[in-house]
Every structure is written in structure tokens, then in C-alpha cells.
A and B are shown apart, each in its own frame.
Chain A
Amino acid sequence: DTAVSQTPKYLVTQMGNDKSIKCEQNLGHDTMYWYKQDSKKFLKIMFSYNNKELIINETVPNRFSPKSPDKAHLNLHINSLELGDSAVYFCASSQGTSGVYTQYFGPGTRLTVL
């Protein structure tokens, strides 16, 4: 069974469009994250939600809006896509946040903005 899943796996779109990436975890975790890995392979956290509440926002442009309908899902909506948004986006989850908990990552969504 897939622990952390993301859809779609690949996303190709034009500049200026709006797109969403979905993430689901079946681990029963309370906390979910979005990370971005750019073309130079640097992996950096963007957001974190704990029980549907935003707890980390790493100065990401407000064109990026995470939404957590329940604690098993964390979606990422991106408005007015730019060339620099092209990257691989990884979702992750962990049991909690006020401590040290192992994070489990999804397979990634490769976003290409043309």
C-alpha cells in the first residue's frame, strides 16, 4: 500500500495558468509538508500543516496556497504559474510536529512550466 501518494506525477502547463497538486497519506499522521526540489537538486521546505492548521510557511510567494481539507490530505494550488516554478514538488507526512518525528515522502510531482 502506498503510504504517501501524489497526483499527478507529471504536470506540464503554460505560464500564467493555475494548477493544483494533490497529496494523500494513509499513515494516520497528523502533520503534512510540501517540499520543492529545484533544477539544482536543492530540496527545501515550503509549508507544513498540523491537523489542518498551517504551522510552517517558508516565505513562499502567495501564489502558492496549500489547503488541507482533512489531516490525511494536503493539496498545493499554484496561481499564475511562472517559469521559475518548474521543479519537483514532494509531499511528506509525520506523526507529529512538537518533537522529532520521521518524515515519509511521496514520489514527487514534476511540474514543468513552458
Chain B
Amino acid sequence: DAKTTQPPSMDCAEGRAANLPCNHSTISGNEYVYWYRQIHSQGPQYIIHGLKNNETNEMASLIITEDRKSSTLILPHATLRDTAVYYCIVTGYGGATNKLIFGTGTLLAVQP
């Protein structure tokens, strides 16, 4: 089972920031938070990941709370092409396997 909880859907106006929350209250100390998205009919696309510090790349920012029990993915200026299902995934470090357990994600609909 997925270790994360996300709202099933969100709307965002084009050009505005999209803030997607994720709850991972059972995260352990060596587990990372990963974000992927899946645009309709395409393969999942990596967005960003982090351990405990906030992270930023060309696609998004990831804000992780100090207790690491929740995080927020921020798309600073959402466009129509950002409409997708966004998955927040907690995955461990140091194990012999590296499998992603996808939940149901958040369907982000960017409105014109």
C-alpha cells in the first residue's frame, strides 16, 4: 500500500502557482519523498525529490515540513500542459530494491 495521502483532485488557474499537498505521516528517517506526474496516456515523469531540505529545480519546488510528515509540491506558474495526475511517493534508501509504490495521486486541472 502507498504510504502517502493526497487529495483526489485540485484546480488551478493558468499562470498561478499550484500547491499540491501530500501527507506521509509514517515516513521513516531514511525515506525520500518523490514526486512524479502522469500526463494523460503518457509514462510517469519524474519531477523532484527530497529527504528533509526544501528542493527546487527547473520544474518545481518541494517543501518538506520540519517533522517530515507532509510536503507540498509547488508549480510556480501552472500552464495548461501541467494538467496531469501528480503522485507523491515515499521510497526507502539502502534496501536491495528500489520499487515505486504509486497511490491514486492528485488530478490537477489547470483552467484557462
- Chain B residues within an 8 Å CB radius of A103: 44, 46, 98, 100
- Out of B87, B91, B99, name the residue touching A56 (CB < 8 Å): B99
A94–B45 CA distance with the chains assembled, in angstroms: 13
How big is chain A's contact interface, by range?
20 to 34
Contact B46 A99, beta carbon cutoff 8 Å: no
How big is chain B's contact interface, by range?
20 to 34
Contact A106 B49, beta carbon cutoff 8 Å: no
Contact A96 B98, beta carbon cutoff 8 Å: yes
Q: Mark B48-77, 1 if CB is under 8 A from A, else 0.
A: 010000000000000000000000000000
Q: Closest residue to B32 on the A side, CB-wise?
A: A100
8 sample A-B contacts, Cβ–Cβ < 8 Å, listed by A number: A41-B104, A43-B38, A43-B102, A98-B94, A98-B98, A99-B93, A99-B94, A100-B32
Task: Tell me the B residues contacting A by CB distance below 8 Å.
Answer: 32, 34, 38, 41-46, 49, 85, 87, 91-102, 104
List the 5 closest pairs (A to B, CB-CB), nearest first.
A105-B43, A43-B102, A100-B93, A45-B99, A97-B98
